[in-house]
């Protein structure tokens, strides 16, 4: 939402925060869905080699391509990583949702703590449901196998993937293409996308830093208030004449503590994860644009080679035709996914900041 839109309220409308918030009506209603996924019930596993967590993944569906209407499997983080890599491999120019990092960032919580496990569970739940809601990714065969196969079946399926040398070859090609420099014939809209993402990345990282700073300040304030409440309670025991007043102040501080704690929970559960997810999204989108450029680069190099070759023109023309089709498919896939992602991002950002504003209003009222 642009600043101009935020400031475009009619002068006749009362300028209070609550009336401003009520101006916004979210029009996106729930669509008809045929695939519901839940990630819950984290479970610790300790072996002689490693300690890891598995999560229960429950799927309910009415789709004909599934043999049953309900599935229940257990998956560990590495299985989610495998799914993400398979989706990127099959759909290089689609925007694959981000996964939470393997290791916790910024030292906010310890690994395997209840808070860390719950934060990761929510992120994994969102990851699978974003795929389920995607018009193309939801029908990916590896996604179906991830949701339905038992552990041994999934392990067997993983072994059928590309070998080490094949994966190394893909990595070398990706690095080589990134070193080649800018693509000559990149359509203007993809240059605009790239510029947009650079600005978006800077702004979302700045918002993330500010949000973490606010959270830290709130936490310091909360810890100080807790001490003051206890001090006034002790003080009231030795001052009979003003004991009731001191107890009243202690009670007021206690209520402020509870309100502040609720506000901090709103920041840590709703705002911080969304901002961090879109930091990861910005990295993913830059990668998608690079992969699109790589496909364009292959076509450009073949066209240049054809111009310099006098023989084998028929062979080159056939290869160029195939690459032109590949570029067109990549462009169309990215265009459609870009529009969809941008619309969802704007809705989610607006909704998130509206919730923060409403929580702040409740906090100050309390």
- Mention every residue, 6+ apart, whose C-beta is less than 8 A from residue 71: 57, 58, 59, 147, 148
Q: Which one is the CATH code of 35-153: 3.40.1190.20, 3.30.470.10, 3.30.1520.10, 3.90.550.10?
A: 3.30.1520.10
Architecture of domain 183-365 in CATH?
Answer: Up-down Bundle (1.20)
- Mention every residue, 6+ apart, whose C-beta is less than 8 A from residue 197: 282, 285, 286, 289
Burial label, 39 (beta-carbon count in 10 A; 0-12, 13-18, 19+): buried
- Distance (Å, whole) CA 197 – CA 189: 12
- Distance (Å, whole) CA 38 – CA 59: 7
Cβ atoms of residues 79 and 148 within 8 Å: no
Q: Is 70 helix (H, G, I), strand (E, B) or coil?
A: strand
How would you label 12-26 residue by residue, b for 16+ Cβ within 10 Å and e otherwise? Answer: eeeeeeeebeeeeee
pLDDT at residue 179, rounded to an integer: 41
Compute how many other C-beta atoms are within 10 angstroms of the C-beta atom of residue 89: 13
Per-residue pLDDT of the chain (366 residues; tens, 9 = 90+): 444 444 444 444 444 444 444 444 444 444 578 899 999 999 888 877 878 899 999 999 999 989 999 999 999 999 999 999 999 999 999 999 999 876 554 444 456 678 888 889 999 999 999 999 999 999 999 999 999 999 889 988 888 765 443 444 454 444 444 444 556 778 899 999 999 999 999 999 999 999 999 999 999 999 999 989 889 989 999 998 999 999 999 999 999 999 999 999 999 988 999 999 999 999 999 999 999 999 988 888 877 777 776 556 666 677 888 888 998 999 999 999 999 999 999 999 999 999 999 999 999 998
pLDDT at residue 302, rounded to an integer: 79
Q: For the chain, give every domain's residue range.
A: 35-153, 183-365
* Two domains, one topology: 35-153 and 183-365: no
Cβ atoms of residues 349 and 24 within 8 Å: no
- Distance (Å, whole) CA 164 – CA 173: 14
- Distance (Å, whole) CA 4 – CA 208: 23
Residue 90 tokens read as 């099959």
pLDDT at residue 313, rounded to an integer: 65
Strand partners, 52: 45
């Amino acid at each position: 939402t642009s600043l101009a839109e935020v400031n475009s309220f009619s002068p006749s409308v009362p300028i209070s925060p609550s009336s401003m918030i009520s101006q916004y009506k979210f029009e996106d209603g729930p669509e008809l869905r045929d695939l519901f996924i839940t990630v819950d019930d984290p479970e610790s596993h300790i072996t002689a080699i490693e300690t890891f967590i598995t999560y229960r993944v429950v799927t309910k569906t009415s789709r004909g391509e599934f043999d049953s209407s309900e599935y229940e499997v257990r998956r560990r983080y590495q299985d989610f990583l495998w799914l993400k890599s398979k989706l990127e491999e099959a759909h290089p120019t689609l925007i694959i949702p981000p996964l939470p990092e393997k290791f916790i960032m910024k030292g906010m919580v310890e690994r395997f703590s209840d808070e860390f496990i719950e934060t990761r569970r929510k992120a994994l739940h969102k990851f699978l449901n974003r795929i389920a809601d995607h018009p193309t990714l939801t029908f990916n065969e590896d996604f179906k196998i991830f949701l339905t196969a038992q552990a041994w079946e999934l392990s067997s399926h993983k072994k059928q993937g590309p070998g080490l040398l094949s994966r190394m070859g893909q990595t070398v090609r990706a690095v080589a293409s990134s070193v080649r420099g800018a693509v000559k014939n990149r359509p203007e809209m993809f240059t605009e996308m790239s510029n947009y993402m650079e600005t978006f990345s800077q702004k979302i990282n700045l918002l993330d830093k500010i949000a973490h700073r606010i959270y830290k300040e709130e936490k310091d304030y909360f810890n100080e208030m807790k001490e003051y409440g206890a001090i006034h309670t002790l003080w009231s025991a030795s001052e009979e004449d003003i004991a009731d007043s001191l107890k009243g102040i202690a009670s007021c501080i206690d209520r402020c503590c509870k309100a502040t704690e609720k506000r901090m929970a709103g920041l840590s559960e709703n705002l911080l994860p969304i901002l961090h997810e879109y930091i990861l999204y910005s990295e993913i989108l830059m990668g998608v644009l690079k992969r699109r450029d790589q496909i364009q680069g292959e076509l450009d190099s073949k066209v240049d080679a054809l111009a310099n070759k006098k023989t084998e023109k028929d062979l080159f023309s056939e290869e160029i035709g195939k690459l032109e089709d590949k570029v067109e498919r990549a462009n169309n896939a990215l265009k459609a996914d870009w529009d969809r992602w941008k619309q969802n991002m704007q809705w989610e950002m607006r909704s998130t900041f509206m919730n923060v504003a409403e929580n702040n209003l409740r906090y100050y009222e309390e």
